[in-house]
Copies of this chain bind each other. A is one copy, B any other.
Amino acid sequence: MSDLVTFGETMLRLSTPVGERLETARELDLRIGGAESNVAVAAARLGTDATWLSKLPDSPLGRRVTGELRSHGVDPEIHWADSDRQGLYFIERASPPRETNVVYDRSDAAITTARPDDFDRSAVTDASVFFTCGITPALSDRLAETTDELLRTAQKAGTTTAFDINYRSKLWSPPEAREQLSGLFPAIDVLVAAERDIRTIFGYDGRPNDIATALNSDFGFRTVIVTRGKEGAIARHDGRLFEQPAFETETVDSVGTGDAFVGGFLSKRIDGAAVPEALEYGAATAALKQTVEGDLAVVTPSDVEKLVDPEGSGSGIQR
């Protein structure tokens, strides 16, 4: 039994260095990434017992995913498929004014056919927290149903359910997302959402505080966190509002920042911390993630604590 169980797709991530383009690159950096396993990695590295549920092809590519996750302490519980694809994404990182470009190649990945029965139900029902995100139901109808059932199963068993909207315009339109996500909301206890996504999908306007409050009253979440990039995050929990500024960073790689935030937040909540402390921990984890290449928050508890509670020289180098 794990403290945190997450469910979703992990892709191979093939990236060019900044300044290089996919059209002309001769070498690609190979890593892995996926919102739910990114969350599991952040939490596991911070001391949480974390499991990731998924379906993968039984191939070197699928094993590439589990090997890297295990190296960070995540326990992968995999339904191995004989023949399906391993999802991929290409990322052409860029400096302004050129935008970083993500080319998804994830259609028909093994996970798109995952059914609830592919997994041992106790993985979900015994967990303290079950997490998935809005990308997963967008991948296939089958997966939308499976996501729905896993969330309900978890909630029914007393497992806290957490969910990040993570809207991807390359996967679905705002109306599609709204319909699908609204159906899932009753089974969700903790909702995380980027302010921009909430505005795009649900048409809320007003100040961020108002949005958090409205989401809470409209859908009855126990906790709502509205993330605002460099503006930090706002949480509405048990009727109270909390604000958490973001830490300033010189960003090396911004992909996975939101997942690191969620992983740090959930890890601390599972440890029994109150929401404001967990928010700060999440923000620090997110800031550190941005200093590391790849989707994963390769951090230690000590890294996070030093940021939350700094001391010492401030010279930027420890020696």
* A residues neighboring B (CB under 8 Å): 14, 18-31, 59-61, 63-64, 67-68, 70-73, 85-86, 88, 90, 92, 94-105, 107-108, 168-170, 196, 229, 247-255, 287-288, 291-293, 298, 300, 303, 306-307, 313, 315-319
- Say which residue of B26, B98, B247, B249 sits within 8 Å of A30 (CB atoms): B26
A20 with B317: in contact, given A14-B28, A30-B26, A249-B96 (CB under 8 Å)? no
Give Cα A101–Cα B250 distance, bound, in whole angstroms.
Answer: 16
Assess the B105–A86 pair: CB atoms within 8 A: yes
| Chain B contacts for A319, CB-based, 8 A | 102, 104, 168-170
A310 to B, closest residue via Cβ: B97
Q: How far, in Å, is A253 (CB) from chain B's closest CB?
A: 6
Q: How far, in Å, is A282 (CB) from chain B's closest CB?
A: 15
- Say which residue of B64, B94, B255, B306 sits within 8 Å of A22 (CB atoms): B64
| Chain B contacts for A291, CB-based, 8 A | 19, 94-98
A30 with B30: in contact, given A107-B108, A291-B95 (CB under 8 Å)? no
Assess the B316–A19 pair: CB atoms within 8 A: no
- Say which residue of B23, B28, B253, B316 sits within 8 Å of A96 (CB atoms): B316
Give Cα A253–Cα B99 distance, bound, in whole angstroms.
Answer: 16
Interface contacts beyond A21-B292, A22-B64: sample of 5 additional A-B pairs, CB < 8 Å, sorted by A: A28-B30, A61-B90, A67-B71, A68-B71, A100-B317
